Amino acid sequence: MPRLSCWFIRAALIYLAVGFTLGALLLAHKGLGFSPLMWRLLPFHMEMLLLGWFMQLAMGVAFWILPRFVHSAPRGNEKLSWFAFVLVNLGIGCVLAEATFLVQGLALAGRVAELGGVLLFVLGAWGRVRPTGA
């Protein structure tokens, strides 16, 4: 497995563990009623599971299994995909930081970083998407 796929998948598993834990706390709160402030965890839970776990797992597996180039670098320009990894995680961090510290504008910057990361990943992987035998 390529090193970048390992990083994507390990990061995804960390986000899964934290997001799952937050979800369990939210469900426990729904039944036991700890504090009304517990509902502030919902955006963290959604961000970590949707973008942290699901998207990064998909990107890591895609980087690993997409066909390799025969006559050049096997996975194309890997720097694009590494930069995508950094941008996606930076974006998630910015979104979570705004929710935590209530600093205006961080979520927008985070969403732009996440979008940039996804676009860079698509740009790096686009040439590897081809029919069998091509």
HEC letters along the chain: CCHHHHHHHHHHHHHHHHHHHHHHHHHHHHHHCCCHHHHHHHHHHHHHHHHHHHHHHHHHHHHHHCCCCCCCCCCCCHHHHHHHHHHHHHHHHHHHHHHHHCCCCHHHHHHHHHHHHHHHHHHHHHHHCCCCCC
List, for residues 66-108, the tens digit of each pLDDT value. Answer: 877 666 676 778 889 999 999 999 999 999 888 777 778 899 9
Q: Which pTM was predicted?
A: 0.86
